[in-house]
């Protein structure tokens, strides 16, 4: 079994744990804390999510907007250590969708999230594709999915953009702070997450 990528002890310096108190109604469903991801293995030791304060504030704004429309935000991924990025790259070495280990992933900066929607009761809703489903349904076109699904995906996109995030064309679920490039990567030293 691989060494854990993250410890459930103290948070990485500069990051805050995401919870329903700082992001209203958020549902944590971290895919890399389970085997429901492209590696087929659990690469986070627990389901805790970490982000920069600025990212949490903007995510909270999007969550409040979506709440008014009858939805809840579901967080699939947040800060990602370098060791997790290496595991993802080993499973799918494709630069169209993943940052190669020699470069710094946006997720390592604590400024990026992967999100989807649930209804008010917490039931995860149908969206264009599953997380990390790298195909045409994952892009922002939405012409190849049912109208109701496309409508939800656009509503999520509008809420995230209005809150101060930008998206990427090939992953409807991925959002970054608009100024993500001005933030340094955050690593937890001593657990294989330094470097790169």
Read off the pLDDT of residues 140-185 as tens digits, 9 standing for 90 and up. 999 999 999 999 999 999 999 999 999 999 999 999 999 999 999 9
Domain span at residue 119 reads 16-182
The domain total for the chain is 1
**Residue 188 domain flag:** no
We report the CATH number of the domain holding residue 82 as: 3.30.1380.10
Are the beta carbons of 62 and 162 closer than 8 angstroms? Answer: yes
Say if 88 falls within a structural domain: yes
Report the SS3 class of residue 10. Answer: coil
Q: Please report which residue ranges of 50-131 form alpha helices under DSSP H.
A: 53-68, 82-91
Q: List the catalytic residues.
A: 171
Q: Kindly report the pTM of this predicted structure.
A: 0.90
Mean pLDDT of the chain: 90
Beta-carbon count within 10 A of 109 CB: 23
Residue 163 lies in a domain: yes
């Amino acid at each position: 079994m691989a060494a854990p990528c993250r410890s459930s002890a103290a948070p990485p310096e500069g990051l805050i744990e995401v919870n329903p108190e700082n992001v209203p109604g958020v549902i944590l469903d971290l895919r890399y804390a389970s085997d429901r991801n492209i590696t087929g293995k659990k690469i986070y030791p627990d389901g805790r999510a970490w982000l920069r304060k600025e990212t949490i504030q903007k995510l909270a704004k999007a969550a409040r907007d979506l709440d008014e429309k009858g939805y809840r935000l579901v967080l699939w991924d947040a800060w990602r250590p370098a060791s997790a990025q290496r595991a993802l790259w080993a499973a799918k070495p494709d630069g169209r969708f993943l940052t190669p280990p020699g470069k710094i992933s946006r997720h390592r900066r604590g400024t990026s999230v992967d999100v989807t929607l649930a209804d008010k009761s917490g039931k995860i809703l149908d969206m264009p594709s599953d997380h990390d489903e790298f195909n045409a349904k994952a892009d922002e076109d939405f012409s190849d999915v049912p109208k109701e699904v496309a409508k939800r995906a656009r509503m999520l996109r509008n809420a995230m953009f209005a809150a101060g995030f930008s998206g990427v064309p090939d992953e409807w679920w991925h959002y970054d702070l608009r100024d993500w490039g001005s933030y340094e990567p955050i690593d937890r030293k001593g657990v294989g997450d330094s470097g790169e």
